[in-house]
């Protein structure tokens, strides 16, 4: 047998073996590029208060290296660009929020493949403003059952439908336009307070105003859900899984830190367990898609 013939037979045998065990050519075997992932949003998205802080964002944003987007990227090997920032409103998608930041939408590209976000709670100061108003109402009306509800009625929830909802629809639509290939996932907010009862002293609220604030949050989450539905965005509903995990629960059970005796520097926000829970639920949505 000639050397040429032997070499040819050897190459044929090697090719057959490679095919049998699933080897590919060097070009086909090259590792694929990691999925391009962008995280947008506010302090819940940024994981504000959960140590350690991310060095890639300005300190005013209180962005955590252990927020849900970082956990998801680590789990799946995604290439993450996280521009979430504490205090963000939908308007901060379009313009810089602080010196040293950029408009959050600048992170989106036509090749972005996954976008996650939480947003809306700071629009019209829904969360912080309502909490401050209800604490003030309790201080001004000691012993009253629901002084915040009595004083403000539907006025705190009215801007959600009139202003926050259309802002959410526009923002989600613009994300799809800027990154048409991306799966866009927006998460609702986990419960901050229980369905009823007293939350004192963790949150200094009159007993009847716990339900009042719960109703306000339910209105916001419903606006987020409807905006997602209108824009073909994936909505992650945190209401069921976070029941009994609010800021009035003991350490180890709660996903939200209370205002008093909090275990992190940013109260009434998700703790590390809360960010892990958000990551778990969002990853389920990614897997389904």
- Tens-digit pLDDT profile for residues 52-90: 999 999 999 999 999 999 999 999 999 999 999 999 999
Compute the distance between CA of residue 175 and CA of residue 217 in angstroms, rounded to an integer: 24
pLDDT at 16 over 90: no
The string of pLDDT tens digits covering residues 187-215 is 999 999 999 999 999 999 999 999 999 99
- Mean per-residue pLDDT, 237-251: 97
pLDDT at 150 over 60: yes
Measure Cα distances from 20 to 9, 13, 24, 31, 127 in Å: 17, 11, 10, 21, 60
- Mean per-residue pLDDT, 102-126: 98
- Mean per-residue pLDDT, 152-170: 98
Q: What is the pLDDT of residue 135?
A: 96
Q: What is the pLDDT of residue 32?
A: 79
Strand ranges, E, within 42-110:
79-82
Both tokens assigned to 80: 């993450």
Of the pLDDT bands very low, low, confident and very high (cuts 50, 70, 90), residue 31 is low
Q: What is the pLDDT of residue 2?
A: 43
Q: What is the pTM of this model?
A: 0.88
CATH class held by domain 31-288: alpha beta
User: Which long-range CB contacts under 8 A does 258-264 form with residues at least 24 apart?
Assistant: 258/199, 258/202, 258/203, 259/131, 259/202, 259/203, 259/204, 260/201, 260/202, 260/203, 260/204, 261/201, 261/202, 264/49, 264/50, 264/51
Q: What is the pLDDT of residue 11?
A: 36
Compute the distance between CA of residue 190 and CA of residue 270 in angstroms, rounded to an integer: 8
pLDDT at 9 over 60: no
Q: CA torsion 7→10→11→16, rounded to 10°?
A: 160
- Mean per-residue pLDDT, 244-269: 97
pLDDT at 124 over 70: yes
Of the pLDDT bands very low, low, confident and very high (cuts 50, 70, 90), residue 18 is very low
Both tokens assigned to 16: 């057959």
> What is the average pLDDT value for the chain, to the nearest integer?
91
Compute the distance between CA of residue 79 and CA of residue 38 in angstroms, rounded to an integer: 8
For the annotated catalytic residues, the residue numbers are 43, 269
Residue with tokens 């050397």, as numbered in its chain: 3
- Output 1 or 104, whichever has higher pLDDT: 104
- Mean per-residue pLDDT, 144-172: 98
Q: Domain locations in the chain?
A: 1-27, 31-288
Q: What is the pLDDT of residue 141?
A: 96
Compute the distance between CA of residue 86 and CA of residue 102 in angstroms, rounded to an integer: 14
pLDDT at 17 over 60: no
Q: Report DSSP letters for 157-176, one per residue.
A: THHIIIIIHHHHHHHHHHHH
- Mean per-residue pLDDT, 143-157: 97
> Which residues make Cβ contacts (< 8 Å) with residue 32, sequence separation at least 6?
none
Share of the chain above pLDDT 70, in %: 88
62 closest CA partner among 89, 80, 76, 43: 43
């Amino acid at each position: 047998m000639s050397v040429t013939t032997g070499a040819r037979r050897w190459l044929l045998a090697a090719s057959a073996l490679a095919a049998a065990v699933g080897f590919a050519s060097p070009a086909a075997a090259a590792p694929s590029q990691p999925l391009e992932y962008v995280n947008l949003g506010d302090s819940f998205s940024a994981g504000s208060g959960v140590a350690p802080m991310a060095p890639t964002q300005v300190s005013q944003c209180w962005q955590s290296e252990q927020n849900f987007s970082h956990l998801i990227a680590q789990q799946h090997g995604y290439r993450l660009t996280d521009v979430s920032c504490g205090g963000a409103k939908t308007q901060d998608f379009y313009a810089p929020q602080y010196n040293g930041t950029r408009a959050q939408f600048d992170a989106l590209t036509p090749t972005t493949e996954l976008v996650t976000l939480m947003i809306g709670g700071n629009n019209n100061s829904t969360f912080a403003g309502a909490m401050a108003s209800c604490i003030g109402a309790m201080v001004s009306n000691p012993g009253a059952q629901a002084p915040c509800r009595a004083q403000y009625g539907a006025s705190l929830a009215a801007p959600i439908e009139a202003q926050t909802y259309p802002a959410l629809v526009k923002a989600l639509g613009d994300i799809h336009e800027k990154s048409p290939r991306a799966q866009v996932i927006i998460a609702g907010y986990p419960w901050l307070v229980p369905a009823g009862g007293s939350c004192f002293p963790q949150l200094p609220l009159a007993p009847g105003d716990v339900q009042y604030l719960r109703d306000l949050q339910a209105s916001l989450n419903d606006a987020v859900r409807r905006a997602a539905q209108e824009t073909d965005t994936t909505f992650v509903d945190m209401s069921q899984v976070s029941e009994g995990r609010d800021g009035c629960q003991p350490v180890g059970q709660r996903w939200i830190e209370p205002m008093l005796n909090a275990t992190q520097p940013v109260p009434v926000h998700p703790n590390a367990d809360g960010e892990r829970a958000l990551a778990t639920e969002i990853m389920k949505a990614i897997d389904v898609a």
